[in-house]
A = this chain, B = another copy of it.
Amino acid sequence: MRNAAIAFDAMSASAVALFTDQGVTGYAFDSIGRYGKGALLRERFFPRLLAAPPDSLLDRHGVIDPPACARAAMANEKPGGHGERPGAVGLIEAAAWDLRAKIERLPLWRSLADYYGTRDAGATIRVYASCGHFRDDRLLADEVARARDAGYACVKIKVAGTLEDRERIVALAGGGPLAIDVNGALAPQIAQRWFAAMAEFRLAWIEEPAPPLDYELTRRYAELTPAPLATGENLFSYDDARNLLRYGGLRRERDLLQFDPLLSYGVAEYVRILELCAGWARRQFLPHAGHLFAAHCVAGLGLGMAEAAPEATLPYGGYWDGVRVQDGCVKIPDLPGVGYEAKANLFALLEHR
């Protein structure tokens, strides 16, 4: 697999399991796009979590408090420099959320909704399929058709940020909502022509036309197209999200924000970002990466849509076993926690250790 910027074949992933004396286990499994965080967890974040006074990790009902776990893990970390660290801490917080929801005997989305007082929480969420990772252009049409047959309405494909993108898209347009992902690779010299070429398609959104930290270029690109822009998957903190909002020229009636809670210190930091985005609707938040944890965040925080890698035979693809996509939606099964136990090919990896 690759996108316009990198290949994924050597990318690693991390998983976390938290065990209680009462025999409950909370799991977390990595998001995608950043390398594994295992060593950082073992070297500094687990030791701090284990060194924290146990009571400091509990809420006033004596149940594990995931944001408190993330705070304990972050003791004596300098501000700034949000790269690998947010993903490692995010895994700890996510495993604590799975644990908390299991102790409460609730699906995670309901536990999140209770914790944060979400009004529009519900088990059924909109999802979209991510396709076209440059494996083979000839296979792309098949891949997209399979995703649509599987029940996905909106499909996103990778493009290269070149004027040849038009051909890739024209072969697929018309079958349903289509989004494209440039992974920051659009060259400023061709941008005006490229956006003009995209105008013939009514794209659901154009993702990351500019590199993630080039807010000025994002702002200029937003001026070049009426299509919704989506970005944020490579910003891993409240600090960076705030800068995107301050300087990126995004249009709050139209654009989409794709911060990934699992790569960004967890749900507590994500909710701080939501609160920062005054005037933005919750439906404009589309967390990056098709992980089960993100699906619960979409359901429990009332967000717009979850991403999915549609190939369910992969540990990372699809959703819970037996759960079907219908009309672009998925209903999260009524299981305690995230429900990793109900996706056999993924749970086999978690259980392995």
Does A35 sit at the interface, judged by CB under 8 A?
yes
- A interface bracket (residues with beta carbon within 8 Å of B): 35 or more
In the bound assembly, the distance between CA atoms of A150 and B117 in angstroms comes to 60
In the complex, chain B residues whose CB is within 8 Å of the CB of A7: 76
Does A36 sit at the interface, judged by CB under 8 A?
yes
Closest beta carbon of chain B to A266's beta carbon, Å: 16
Type the 1/0 row for A67-109, where 1 means its CB is closer than 8 Å to any CB of B: 0000000001111111111100000000000000000000000
Do residues A213 and B77 form an inter-chain contact, with CB atoms below 8 A? Answer: no
Which one of A238-246, A289-297, A323-331 is at the B interface? A238-246
Closest residue of chain B to A240 (Cβ to Cβ) is: B213
Residues of A within 8 A of B (CB): 5-12, 33-36, 38-40, 42-44, 76-86, 184, 211-216, 234-237, 239-240, 242-243, 246-247
Besides the contacts A8-B76, A81-B236, what 12 more A-B pairs have beta carbons closer than 8 Å?
A: A6-B78, A33-B78, A34-B78, A35-B44, A39-B39, A80-B211, A80-B212, A83-B86, A84-B84, A213-B240, A213-B243, A214-B242
Residue pairs across A and B with Cβ atoms less than 8 A apart, 28 shown, are A6-B77, A7-B76, A8-B76, A10-B44, A10-B76, A12-B43, A33-B78, A34-B81, A35-B43, A39-B39, A39-B42, A39-B43, A78-B234, A79-B234, A80-B212, A80-B235, A81-B84, A81-B236, A82-B83, A82-B213, A83-B83, A83-B85, A84-B85, A211-B239, A213-B242, A215-B243, A215-B246, A243-B243
